[in-house]
Amino acid sequence: MASILDVHDVTVAYHHRPVLWDIDLTLTQPCVAGIVGPNGAGKSTLIKAILGLVPLASGQVQILGEPVSRQRRRIGYVPQRESVDWDFPVSVLDVVLMGTYGRLGWFRRPGSRERDQARRSLARVGLEGLEDRQIGHLSGGQQQRTFLARALVQEADIYFMDEPMAGVDAATEATIFSLLRELGEQGKTVLVVHHDLRTVTQYFDYLILLNTRLVAHGPTATTFTPAHLRTTYGGRLAVLDEAAEAVSAGERTP
Amino acid sequence: MSLAPAVPFTWQDAGWTLAVAILCNVSCALLGCYLVLRRLSLLGDAISHSVLPGIALAFLLTQRISGWPIILGAMLLGLLTTLLTQTVTQLGKVAEDASMGVVFTSLFALGVLLMSSETVRNVDIDASCVLYGLIETVSVNRVTWLGLRVPQALLTLGPMMLLTIAFVLLLWKELKLASFDPALATALGFNAGGIHYLLMAMVAAVTVASFEAVGSILVVAMLIVPAATAHLLTDRLHWMMVVAVMVGIVSALMGYLITRYVSTSLAGMMAVMAGLQFALAVFLAPRHGVLSKIRRNTLLAVRIRREDLLAWLYRREEQAAQPVPMGLTESPASVQGLLGKLAVLSARSQGLIVQQGERVQLTEAGRREAVIVVRSHRLWEAFLTENLDLPLDHLHEPAEQMEHFIGPALQQEITAQLGQPERDPHGKVIPRS
């Protein structure tokens, strides 16, 4: 059977400066995985690289045995809340409906079937009754839940969420948590960029520790160890930083 | 600048001139909505300048100064502007606005060079006509179409508007998605970059189709101002487009009407009318408008002063251990002044105080209100002492601010957290409502 996610030796560079080094990561079993690491570790970049939103300097990514470009329908994506303009003149329902666009393809508009689906999805995240609000009138937590509802209508098999719990209220965090559990029980795979170490063992059954390189990955029980955390948060590898500087400058290191 | 020519007024001329202006304004307003929402307003300006070499080249190839070859040439240059801007940003590590500035001025200069060359100069095409347009003479320059003598510009602008409307309707969902969340668009398999280039090509086409008729000043204004006005007034994309189109049409009508009496540039007057509508929207917009902000702020200021007055009366009663009428002149500074007078007035009209001359006294309802404010004040002081480690004389000021913003739910949360406190840090009783 093809693995769910196969990240093969992926390096990502911005302006010729590597920010992720030779990430090699294979997920064979469905899991709810946390991607954890310090600021600047490349957590969001890893997700964007997998989704093809930033170019790979080397390596390749396969999802369910195929290149990502052929598996778009099976992938759900929750970007960071700050990545969009919340003054944009659309309603909550409009935003959730965008999750159905991939399935609809070019030119076809969402119909009543999609609308019903979007409403159900909004109810699942506790936003019923807010369908017609302009998105700027929502609280931060409600905005995050709108994004989650949008990912849910994608009916994907593998979800990528970029810091869904950053700066949200307790109610929203609880909703997200129960949603993660629900998706896990349905046999879906969810990768979540996360920064709160206190909740890692509670939320995730799989852990990916990242600090510009893959430090460790595996079931949370065996991966969430003091030794691994020390390596992850104990600063970047000086050699990698010097090497990145040299590649960016196009010169050999001293 | 070409001023209104001394041609005798006829309804037919007026109709044709307005039709041309409206066709142009509607196309610009529709596409402008996307530019404004994607924060690319200035790219419209850039493209309107950088299409000039495209126009010149198309002319050199076809020897005609209007029609579809010119529009195609402009679309190509529009794409080239977008492409070059991004390339310069990436290659030269130049900020995007700087690279846009470099690209469009260079291309515009190239266009001016081509326009001034021997071959082109001998024909009736010059850069100023591109800038200001010749809308005043648009109804004079006619061709026969279906047996009708119609302005030549109508035959390019008409199809251009239909093309724009078709573009917006056909790609409605794709344009909305790519404008709102380009990353998601790409993740869903829609080529956000491709949609962006397509939009820029359309902007270039509409821009150049409108050049000869109305000039680039009106085009740039119509790309941005109606859309920006509509953005202030609406919160749905389709309504934004409807309002933008209406602003464009009203600008054309009013601009034309005024230039019937005041002899000046018609295109300029239409652009000014759009600006006027924008200024009105800035004042009157329901949510972000200046007037509604002033109204909100005034209401808040009066409420704060009214609550300060009630709290002051309550504290005096507390000290005297009985209801006492107080002279308004002794009231705290915040209750003085014009807003203070309004606060007294509103407290009286709501039955919170009774007033006899200069003396005021709490009513039963007023006392209930005052308890809420004073309770919030003292709970906040207790909360600050517990959590922020502030000296005793630093508590009153922040509590004086926060007492107006703490409602029953938060009061409960604080009392629960502090274990039902009876007294504030100064030893005063926290009243119960």
Q: Which of B108, B388, B132 is nearest to B264 (CA)?
A: B132
Number of domains in chain B: 2
Instruction: Please list every residue in chain B whose beta carbon sits closer than 8 Å to the beta carbon of residue A14.
Output: none
* Domain match, B347 and B278 both: no
Residue A254 lies in a domain: no
Instruction: Supply the pLDDT for residue B121.
Output: 59
Instruction: Supply the pLDDT for residue B12.
Output: 80
**B196-229 residues labelled b (16+ CB within 10 A) or e (exposed):** bebbbbbbbbbbbbbbbbbbbbbbbbbbbbbbbb
Partner-chain contact B180 A88, CB within 8 Å: yes
Instruction: Please list every residue in chain A whose beta carbon sits closer than 8 Å to the beta carbon of residue B169.
Output: none
Residue B424 lies in a domain: no
* Domain match, B158 and B263 both: yes
Min Cα separation A98/chain B (Å): 7
In the stretch 55-114 of chain B, residues with CB closer than 8 A to chain A read: 93
pLDDT in tens, B295-328: 999 999 999 999 999 999 999 888 887 777 788 7
A238 C-beta neighbours (distance < 10 Å), count: 8
pLDDT at B1 over 60: no
Partner-chain contact B181 A77, CB within 8 Å: no
Domain that holds residue A46: 5-249
* Domain match, B133 and B255 both: yes
Q: In what order do the strands lie in the sheet with A206-210?
A: A75-78, A158-162, A189-194, A32-36, A206-210, A214-219
Q: Where are the alpha helices (DSSP H) in B117-151?
A: 118-121, 127-132
The answer to whether residue A79 neighbours chain B at the CB level (below 8 Å) is yes
* Domain match, B271 and B204 both: yes
What CATH number has the domain bearing residue B333? 1.10.10.10
For tokens 């309603």, the residue is: A91
Instruction: Pick A130 or B208 by higher pLDDT.
Output: A130
* Domain match, B258 and B177 both: yes
Residue A237 lies in a domain: yes
**pTM over 0.90, yes/no:** no
Q: Which of A48, A75, A106, A108 to mutate to test the interface with B (most CBs of B within 10 A)?
A: A106
What CATH number has the domain bearing residue A148? 3.40.50.300
Residue B155 token pair: 């035959």
Instruction: Supply the pLDDT for residue A112.
Output: 95
pLDDT in tens, B265-298: 888 899 999 999 999 999 988 877 889 899 999 9
CB A207 within 8 A of CB A200: yes
Q: Which of B265, B285, B305 is the last residue of a domain?
A: B285
pLDDT in tens, B137-149: 777 777 777 777 7
What CATH number has the domain bearing residue B150? 1.10.3470.10
* Domain match, B19 and B119 both: yes
Domain that holds residue B347: 293-418
* Domain match, B259 and B316 both: no
* Domain match, B189 and B319 both: no
Q: Which of B285, B301, B317 is the last residue of a domain?
A: B285
Q: Which of B226, B251, B285 is the last residue of a domain?
A: B285
Of A51, A87, A109, the CB nearest to B173: A109
Residue A199 lies in a domain: yes
Partner-chain contact A89 B234, CB within 8 Å: yes
Min Cα separation A145/chain B (Å): 16
Residue A90 lies in a domain: yes
Which H or E element spans position A158? strand A158-162
* Domain match, B28 and B123 both: yes
3-state secondary structure of B117: coil
Instruction: Please list every residue in chain A whose beta carbon sits closer than 8 Å to the beta carbon of residue B231.
Output: 87, 89
* Domain match, B171 and B194 both: yes
* Domain match, B168 and B228 both: yes
Residue B242 lies in a domain: yes
Number of domains in chain A: 1
User: Pairing relation of β-strands A75-78 and B326-327?
Assistant: unpaired
